[in-house]
Structure 1
């Protein structure tokens, strides 16, 4: 269903239009919220955030009937902002409810400080090498390995075909391996 068809349906029958909008964009909104809340929220938190996002979307579309832009754009903006708000609430709630049993009994030893410093340095080197790949290869690598997105999702984001993204990912891996070896990271 196109944006104009959804708008017409929402004007003629708001309840039917909302149902159609929900069916059309539910997966999209879920993907956005799950990506923001995957490390801190439960599946129930994600579902609640999706519901909150659709309430906000319906409210905006009802009050701003003159909106002529892309529906997907406003939906993604509202979903992202709702997910960020939920993330902040979850982080605030979890930071206040730390059990004493979960707290470390003693300060970490010297080894863990060295390991953390080494890990941080390695992450910096890897990100520098990824940036050296240039666009769109660096974006493809980041979406695939850092955000866990599929080639199809990345293709939609970059407005490329899925096969082009897969081929670029394959070539970028080889190039990245060479850059990492030059930077002194072996066994990649």
Structure 2
């Protein structure tokens, strides 16, 4: 959606046009749900949080100043709504410990993943993302799947861009550990031998 289209839809919604709001929901509903499921790891909670997110967006839209892209603002509302739900449930997710995992091993895993069928690769990545903490899964989704910049992500999660970069790097290492555990050891070993 272009900035002009966003401004037009926002003005229509503020003017009471419910059809314009349903257009906004249609554009962003899948993304909001994906981010919610990454953080909450529960379909029903993700659906509830998605609905809550759009209610908050509808109520807060008149206060949207356009200082960031509308999509960035929507991601931020979704992120904060997920955090509220996590706090409400007083949840903690286990973190994967970072070993001394070298960049060469991460690249080897990337090469091993390339060898998998496309569908199987996507499923493996999705399964491993589900095992990460909410924050790690959320950051990796925004950066790699939604292709947001570090600056855009920093606005969403209220962190400095450099801190976001470090967190994404650490999350990627944790994901690599999970992927290494999931992939067949002989596949990894054959790729490691080929790179030696």
The alignment's TM-score, normalised by the length of structure 1, stands at 0.52
The question of 1:35 aligning with 2:25 is answered: no
Matching residue of 1:154: 144
Matching residue of 1:84: 83
Distance 1:9 1:28, change over 3 A: same
Distance 1:49 1:91, change over 3 A: same
Q: In structure 2, what is the Cα distance between the partners aligned to 1:6 and 1:157?
A: 20
Matching residue of 2:101: 128
1:17: Cα distance to partner?
A: 2.4
Q: In structure 2, what is the Cα distance between the partners aligned to 1:8 and 1:155?
A: 27
Give the match's secondary structure for 1:59: helix
Give the match's secondary structure for 1:157: coil
Could you report, residue by residue, the CA deviation over 1:3-49 in whole angstroms, capped at 9, with x for unpaired residues? Answer: 421321231344232111101000000001011111xx4x3222111
Q: Report matched runs for 1:54-69 at 5 Å.
A: 54-64=54-64, 66-69=65-68
1:59: Cα distance to partner?
A: 2.5
Distance 1:8 1:88, change over 3 A: same
Matching residue of 1:22: 25
1:124: Cα distance to partner?
A: 3.6
* Larger Rg computed on CA atoms: 1
Could you report, residue by residue, the CA deviation over 1:136-173 in whole angstroms, capped at 9, with x for unpaired residues? Answer: x6xx9xx9363158x9x9354378xxxxxxxxx9xx99
Contact 1:6 1:20 in 2 (8 A): no
| Structure 1 gaps, min length 5 | 95-119, 160-168, 183-188
Q: In structure 2, what is the Cα distance between the partners aligned to 1:50 and 1:60?
A: 15
| Structure 2 gaps, min length 5 | 114-123, 131-136, 150-175
1:68: Cα distance to partner?
A: 4.0
**CA-atom RMSD in angstroms:** 4.4
Distance 1:131 1:3, change over 3 A: farther
Contact 1:6 1:17 in 2 (8 A): no
Distance 1:131 1:68, change over 3 A: farther
Contact 1:33 1:83 in 2 (8 A): yes
Q: Which is bigger in relative contact order (C-alpha 8 A, separation at least 6)?
A: 2
Contact 1:9 1:16 in 2 (8 A): no
